[in-house]
Amino acid sequence: MPTTGKKHTLAKDSIDRSKKYSLAEGLQAIVSTAYAKFDESVDVAVKLGVDPRHADQMVRGTCLLPHGTGKTVRVLAFAKGEKEKEALDAGADYVGGEDLAKKIQEGWLDFDKAVATPDMMGVVGKLGKILGPRGMMPNPKVGTVTFDIGKAVEDLKGGKVEFRVEKAGIVHVPVGRISFGVEKLAENFNSLIESIIRLKPSASKGVYVRGISISSTMGPGLKLDPQEIRNLVK
């Protein structure tokens, strides 16, 4: 039977599982109890008062985190002509068309995000079954299918994150790394929550943000006070 490590046990014991922390208290607890030898990710889970089975209650969007995610994002751009150069100048790691589509169909997936100009969707559309389940398919609803390909690349490189409510009504999003410290993590967190609240469906009745928890990669999770968070972003 697997056993819990001493460091994890100490971190877990320092968290009051019954308490709903303020944002500052919660982030301080997460940062101070991190024990891994690597720079852990800090993740947020938001329980929403929506039923994703209904199209008019689907919550999906993007947020440009002011301090990024702390992760190097490899961006692939489907573009041609002047737009190919624009994507490269903006920092795209890979740019092309049919050649890249063929590599992907053969099993190559050495990138994190993909963007495309609208005129390339005839090529990209064939990759839906491969990229879609991995959350890598360019989509106009989140700004990754656009003729402003340079800005799309820069945003993804700079810390733009996508989110989509899951079947259980929960949104999971990373908001940075332990090394960011409390202040930067709080600024990223607030940007995310503001984006989620701004996308509240009109069909959602009652309390929209019902619960929030944060955790680091290896550490225990803790609950935040949703009322305090709602007041922060008013």
Summarize pLDDT for 179-192 with one digit per residue, the tens: 999 999 999 999 99
Q: E-assigned strands of 84-193?
A: 94-96, 113-116, 160-164, 170-177
Question: What is the domain-level CATH number for residue 121?
Answer: 3.40.50.790
Token duo for residue 24: 């500052």
Distance CA 86, CA 79 (A): 9
Task: Look at residue 228 in the predicted model and tell me its pLDDT.
Answer: 86
> Which structural domain, as residue segments, surrounds residue 191?
6-69+160-232
What pLDDT sits at residue 23? 95
Q: Name the domain boundary from 97, 128, 158.
A: 158
> Tokens at residue 198, please?
């701004």
User: For the residues of 189-219, what is the DSSP string, one character each?
Assistant: HHHHHHHHHHT--TT--S-SEEEEEEEESSS
Asked whether residue 64 is domain-assigned, the answer is: yes
* pLDDT surpasses 70 at 17: yes
Q: Specify if 176 maps to a domain.
A: yes
* 65 and 180 housed in the same domain: yes
Average pLDDT, the chain: 91
State residue 75's pLDDT score: 97
| One domain, residues 175 and 117 | no
Is residue 166 domain-shared with residue 151, that is, in the same domain?
no
Residues 88 and 134 in one domain: yes
Task: Based on the fold, state whether residues 90 and 146 are members of the same structural domain.
Answer: yes
Residue 1 lies in a domain: no
Residue 230 has pLDDT above 80, yes or no: no
pLDDT tier, 9 (very low <50, low <70, confident <90, very high otherwise)? low
pLDDT range class, residue 1, cuts 50, 70, 90: very low
> Which is it for the CA torsion 173, 230, 227, 70, positive or negative?
positive
Q: Is residue 214 part of a domain?
A: yes
Beta strands in the chain (DSSP E): 20-21, 41-48, 60-64, 75-78, 94-96, 113-116, 160-164, 170-177, 209-216, 222-224
Residues 136 and 149 in one domain: yes
Residue 209 has pLDDT above 70, yes or no: yes
pLDDT in tens, 110-127: 999 999 999 999 999 999
pLDDT beyond 50 at 68: yes
Based on the domain organization, do 81 and 146 belong to the same domain?
A: yes
Residue 49 lies in a domain: yes
Tokens of 110: 């050495």
pLDDT band at 12 (very low <50, low <70, confident <90, very high): low
Residue 231 burial (CB count, 10 A)? 9
Residue 91, by phi and psi: left (phi above 0), alpha (psi -120 to 50) or beta? left
Asked if residue 131 belongs to a domain, the reply is yes
- The answer to whether 212 touches 85, Cβ cutoff 8 Å, is no
- Are 57 and 85 in a shared domain? no
- The reply to whether 53 and 112 lie within a common domain is no
Instruction: Say yes or no: 55 and 109 in one domain.
Output: no
Instruction: Select from 158, 185, 202 the last residue of a domain.
Output: 158
Residue 45 falls inside a structural domain: yes
Residues 62 and 173 in one domain: yes
Residue 82 sits in the same domain as residue 154 = yes
* pLDDT on residue 55: 92
pLDDT 10s digits, 148-187? 999 999 999 998 999 999 999 999 999 999 999 999 999 9
Domain count for the chain: 2
Of the candidates 207, 190, 203, 174, the one whose C-alpha atom is nearest the C-alpha of residue 47 is 207
Rounded mean pLDDT, 141-147: 93
Percent of the chain residues topping a pLDDT of 70: 93
State which of 130, 158, 186 marks the end of a domain: 158
